[in-house]
Structure 1
Amino acid sequence: MKNCFKKLNFEGLLILTIVLIVSCNNEESPEIIETGKTETFEVAQLQASDESELISEEIINIGEDVYTTDEIQATSKGSYISDYLPECVTITTVVTSTSKEKTIDFGEGCELPNGNFLSGIIKLSYLKDMEMAMKTLSFSLENFTFNEVSVEGNATVQRMRSNENGNPQSDAVANFTGEWPDGGTASFTGNRTREWIEGFGSGFWGDNVFLISGKGTYTGKFDNVFVKETISPLRRELSCRFLVSGILEISRNDTTVSLDFGDGSCDSKGILTYPNGETEEIFLRRFKN
C-alpha cells in the first residue's frame, strides 16, 4: 500500500515522536480491548494519542524545515530552497542583535503536500549565529489548528548539525494541548530524538526520512493516561502522513501493550499485541488513507 503523496498547490517520530494532543472524534461506539487483566484499553483513545504525536511531530518538523533552509543558505553560501511548505504559507523574519524570530503563517487554511490541513501561526526563534554546531530552537503557537484540532503549547529543540553518524539530529521537549471538533480536550508531553537519515539538503521534501525515538505521556478524556515509549525506532517518511514502521510500548496503570506500525507501507494500520499474547489490527487516527 505504498502511497506517496505528490506536491500540492509541508507530516509531509515520526514521530514520535513526540508530541501533542487530541481528543477522540469517533462517532461509533468505542471499541474496548480486553487485555487479559481488569485493565482495558479503548481503541478510540489509542487513536487519539497517536494523532497527538502526529501533530506534535509535524509542528516541530515545519519549524526545523524553516531553520534548515536558513542554516544551509548561510553555511553553504548557496541558494538552497526547501519545497516542503506550499505557496499559501507566509514566512516573516525579524532579526535582532543576537537572534532570528520567524513567523510561519498558514492564514485561514493551508494544505501541506502530505494532505494535512493547517491554519494559524507557528512562531520560531533561535540565535542568529548559523555556524554553531548546536542550536536551541523555541516554538510557540498562535490561533493554530491541525486538521480541525485547535492546538496550544510550546516546544524546545536542541538541534545538532551532525551526530556520530554524520546526520542532523534534534532532541525535542514538547508540551501541547488541544481541543477536538466535538469539544473534547487532551494533552501530550514528551521528549523525542529525531535523526534525519535520508534527503538532507536535497531540496525535495518527498525523499526526507527520519528515525524517531522517545517517551511521552498522553492524557485524554476522563483523565485517561497513557505512557508511550519507543521500543524500535519509528520511521517517518515525509511523503507519508503516517509512521511506516517501528514499535511503541504503551502503558496504562499496570497494563502494557505494544503497537507495531508495520513493514514500511504508507497506511494508517497498526498491530496491537496484548499482555495475553493476542494481536489485533487497528486503524489509527480519524482517517484511514
Structure 2
Amino acid sequence: MKNYLKKLNFTGILLLAIVLNVSCNKEESPEIIETGETETFEVAQLQASDESELISEEILNIGEDVYAVDEIQATSKGSYISDYLPDCVTITTVVTSSSKEKIIDFGEGCELPNGNFLSGIIKLSYLKDMEMATNTLSFSLENFIFNGVYVAGSATVERMRSNENGNPQSEAVANFTGEWPDGDTASFSGNRTREWIEGFGSGFWGDNVFLISGKGIYTGKYDNVFVKETISPLRRELSCRFLVSGILEITRNDTTVGLDFGDGSCDSKGILTYPNGESEEIFLRRFKN
C-alpha cells in the first residue's frame, strides 16, 4: 500500500486512533466480521478508524513539513523549498521574541499531491531557535475539513533533529474528533513515534518515507472502542495516500485481530487475521483502489 487510530482522539502515536463510518449506506445492515467468539468487528468501523489514522497523520505531516522548511533554511544557511503543499495553500508567519506561529490556510478547498482534499486552517507554533536539538510543535485546527470530514482537536509533537540513526524523529500526542458527511462522529487519541527515513531535505515530496509506531484509541459509532497498537512499524510513503506495509493489533473488549497493510503496494487493501487464525482481505477507508 505504497502511495500511507479514534485518535482523532489520538494519544500521540502517532499512530493515532481513527474514525470513519465509511462506504455503507445507513439503511444497509453493516458488514460484520464473525470472530468465532461472542465479540464481532464491523468492517465499516474498522474503515472509519483507519481513515481517522490517515487524518491524524496527514495533519502532523503537514505541520512537520512546514517546520522542516524553516529548520533547514535556518541551519543550512541557504534557500530551501518543499513542494508538498500546492500554491492554493497560504502560509502566514507571526514572529514574537521567542516563538513562531505558522497559519497554514487551505482556504475553501485545496487538493494535496496525494489526492487528499482539505479546507480550513492548521495553526502551528514552536520556539524560533532552530539550532536546538529538539523543539516542541503545537497544533490546533480552525474550521478544518479533511476529505469531507470535519475535524477538531489539537496535538503536540516533540521534534528531534537527529536520532541515533541520523534521521529526524518526532514523538506525537494527539487528540482529535471527527464528523463524517453522513453525521457519524468519532474521537481518536494516541501516541506515535515517526522516523523520517528517506527524502529529508530533498525538496521533492514524492521521495519522503516514514516509519510509524505507537498506540491509539478510536471511539466510534455506538461507542465502539478500538485500541490499536503497532506490532510491526507502519511504512508511509508520501506518494501514496495509504499505508503500504506494517501490522497493527486491534482490540475491542476481549477480542483482538491483526491488520496487515501489505507488501508495499499502494492500495487500500488490508488483511485481517481473526482469533481463530483465519484471514480475510478488506478494503480500508472509502476507497476501492
TM-score range (shorter-chain normalised) is: over 0.9
How big is the shift at 1:29? 3.1
- SS of residue in 2 equivalent to 1:182: coil
Match of 1:23 among 15, 20, 38: 20
CA–CA separation in structure 2 for the residues paired with 1:262 and 1:126: 36
- SS of residue in 2 equivalent to 1:143: strand
* Counterpart for residue 285 of structure 1: 285
CA–CA separation in structure 1 for the residues paired with 2:240 and 2:172: 21
AA partner of residue 224 (structure 2)? N
Contact 1:22 1:149 in 2 (8 A): no
AA partner of residue 81 (structure 2)? I
CA–CA separation in structure 1 for the residues paired with 2:282 and 2:166: 37
* Cα deviation 1:189-211 (Å, max 9, x = unaligned): 00000000000000000000000
Q: Map of 1:212-251 to 2, 5 A cutoff?
A: 212-251=212-251
- SS of residue in 2 equivalent to 1:227: strand
TM-score, normalised to structure 1's length?
0.94
AA partner of residue 247 (structure 1)? I
* Counterpart for residue 101 of structure 2: 101
* Cα deviation 1:146-181 (Å, max 9, x = unaligned): 000000000000000000000000000000001000
CA–CA separation in structure 2 for the residues paired with 1:199 and 1:167: 10
Q: Map of 1:151-170 to 2, 5 A cutoff?
A: 151-170=151-170
- SS of residue in 1 equivalent to 2:41: strand
How big is the shift at 1:17? 3.5
How big is the shift at 1:22? 2.5
Q: Map of 1:177-256 to 2, 5 A cutoff?
A: 177-256=177-256
- SS of residue in 2 equivalent to 1:58: helix
* Counterpart for residue 83 of structure 1: 83
- SS of residue in 2 equivalent to 1:153: strand
- Unpaired runs of at least 5, structure 1: 5-14
- SS of residue in 2 equivalent to 1:151: strand
The one of the two structures with greater contact order (alpha-carbon pairs below 8 A, sep at least 6) is 2
- SS of residue in 2 equivalent to 1:158: strand
- Unpaired runs of at least 5, structure 2: 4-11
CA–CA separation in structure 2 for the residues paired with 1:245 and 1:88: 31
CA–CA separation in structure 1 for the residues paired with 2:14 and 2:156: 14
AA partner of residue 90 (structure 2)? T
* Counterpart for residue 257 of structure 2: 257
Contact 1:119 1:145 in 2 (8 A): yes
Contact 2:14 2:174 in 1 (8 A): no
How big is the shift at 1:16? 6.4
Does residue 274 of structure 1 match 2:274? yes
The alignment yields a C-alpha RMSD, in angstroms, of: 1.3
Seq. identity, %: 87
